[in-house]
């Protein structure tokens, strides 16, 4: 018998921060608002059970395996998914990471429980034959966060359009809103009031050298000749930092680049507000929630035209798109970003909210749930 209940399987909600975690939180909160707290159960792999229960504060039910040793956590979590799925027999399972889709496939085989699988980006592109690919193929619905990822999966998995429902990333319009940054932030980075600040927020991982911050550094000397007071602030940490430091020395940019390192989430909005513009000319982003956060704070944005930044920036309607491999085009785009006329910060915020605000996100989640008979 139908229970009218939803299970959401997540890597974690609060154990660490990241794009998938932010998306998972928004999906859980939207679903709980739509269905009610007793009809939504979250099964988390890496959150501590007690910490997650306290954070949920009665908004939804939860189980988690974050208190189990990492050596056996994956096995324990898989067992939890099977146990909860077989016992509760939910009307729908949504997994916010494709790695959990093989378990959803087994549940469908055992109890015909339907599943929807989120698809964020590189974790689902170019999948080799195996259990994750099979899990995606078996899913009732695939939930790409962008048209770019949807179109890639359509071609790679040879699936029809009606197997997909695009639910893009969203942002908190109250947290990421226009306004002044505290003066202490510029003082921290020794930025003068006359400095024009270009910001990038990115992991600095050598294995992810597609984010585009290296290309920005390459064109910065020429750009500074056109914009003499320009400073570049790069927020993020990772094992690519020594390579970035070497590049800064080679280009003679020591007094022009600030490597801010890790910035806690409660300070992130003020970093966007401190900047004059945001740029991440990436090549392999599945969406890029940082563009939404920057626009939420009223900042002009530049992205690459070879990945899902085209979705986040609405094919150029909300920002400038350039070929990240063409340094001349990148430099020209950055100059237009920083020197050209721009809408007011509030107008930028309102445009981003119109397409990617929480109201739009909840409409799409509601449509997904209703497509499986959950109201």
**Integer Cα distance of 119 and 72 in angstroms:** 25
Q: How many helices, marked H, and strands, marked E, lie in the chain?
A: 15, 12
Q: What is the pLDDT of residue 204?
A: 93
For residue 238, how far is the Cα from the chain centroid? Answer: 18
Contact 357, 170 (CB under 8 A): yes
Burial of 337 (0-12, 13-18, 19+ CB in 10 A): buried
For residues 286, 312, 314 and 97, what is the CA-based torsion angle, rounded to 10 degrees?
Answer: 40
Residue 215's nearest CA partner among 234, 230, 238, 190 is 234
CATH superfamily, region 183-355: Glycogen Phosphorylase B; (3.40.50.2000)
Give tens-digit pLDDT for 42-51. Answer: 999 999 999 9
Q: What is the pLDDT of residue 3?
A: 61
Q: What is the pLDDT of residue 184?
A: 94
Which residues lie below 8 Å from residue 119, measured CB to CB, with a gap of 6+?
Answer: 98, 136, 142, 143, 144, 145, 149, 150, 153, 286
Report the topology of domain 6-170+357-371: Rossmann fold (3.40.50)
- CA dist list (Å): 330 to 72, 216, 243, 303: 46, 8, 21, 9
Give tens-digit pLDDT for 223-267. Answer: 999 999 999 999 999 999 999 999 999 999 999 999 999 999 899
**Integer Cα distance of 152 and 198 in angstroms:** 31
Domain boundaries, given as residue ranges, for the chain: 6-170+357-371, 183-355
Low-confidence ranges of the chain (pLDDT < 70): 1-3
**Identical topology for domains 6-170+357-371 and 183-355:** yes
């Amino acid at each position: 018998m139908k229970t009218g209940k939803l299970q959401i399987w997540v890597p974690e909600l609060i154990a660490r921060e990241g794009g998938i975690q932010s998306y998972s939180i928004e999906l859980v909160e939207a679903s709980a608002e739509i269905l009610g707290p007793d009809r939504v159960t979250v099964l988390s792999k890496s959150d501590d059970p007690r910490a997650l229960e306290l954070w949920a504060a009665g908004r939804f039910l939860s189980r988690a395996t974050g208190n189990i040793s990492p050596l056996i956590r994956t096995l324990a979590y898989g067992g939890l998914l099977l146990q909860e799925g077989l016992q509760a027999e939910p009307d729908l399972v949504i997994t916010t990471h494709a790695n959990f889709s093989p378990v959803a496939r087994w549940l469908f085989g055992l109890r015909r429980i339907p599943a929807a699988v989120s698809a964020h980006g590189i974790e689902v592109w170019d999948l080799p034959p195996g259990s994750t690919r099979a899990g995606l193929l078996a899913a009732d619905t695939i939930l790409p966060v962008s048209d770019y990822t949807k179109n890639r999966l359509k071609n790679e998995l040879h699936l029809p359009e009606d197997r997909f429902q695009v639910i893009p990333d969203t942002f908190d319009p109250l947290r990421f809103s226009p306004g002044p940054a505290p003066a202490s932030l510029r003082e921290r980075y020794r930025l003068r009031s006359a400095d024009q600040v270009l910001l990038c927020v990115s992991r600095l991982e050598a294995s992810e050298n597609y984010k585009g911050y290296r290309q920005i550094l390459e064109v910065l000397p020429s750009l500074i000749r056109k914009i003499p007071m320009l400073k570049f602030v790069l927020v993020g940490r990772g094992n690519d930092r020594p390579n970035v430091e070497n590049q800064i020395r080679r280009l003679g940019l020591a007094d022009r680049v600030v490597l801010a390192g890790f910035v806690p989430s409660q300070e992130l909005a003020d970093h966007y507000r401190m900047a004059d513009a945001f740029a991440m000319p990436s090549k392999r982003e599945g969406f890029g929630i940082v563009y939404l956060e920057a626009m939420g704070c009223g900042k002009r944005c530049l992205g690459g035209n070879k990945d899902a930044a085209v979705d986040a920036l609405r094919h150029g309607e909300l920002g400038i798109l350039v070929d990240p491999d063409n340094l001349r085009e990148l430099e020209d785009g950055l100059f237009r970003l920083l020197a050209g006329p721009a809408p007011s910060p509030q107008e930028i915020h309102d445009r981003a909210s119109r397409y990617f605000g929480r109201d739009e996100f909840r409409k799409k989640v509601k449509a997904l749930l209703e497509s499986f008979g959950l109201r």
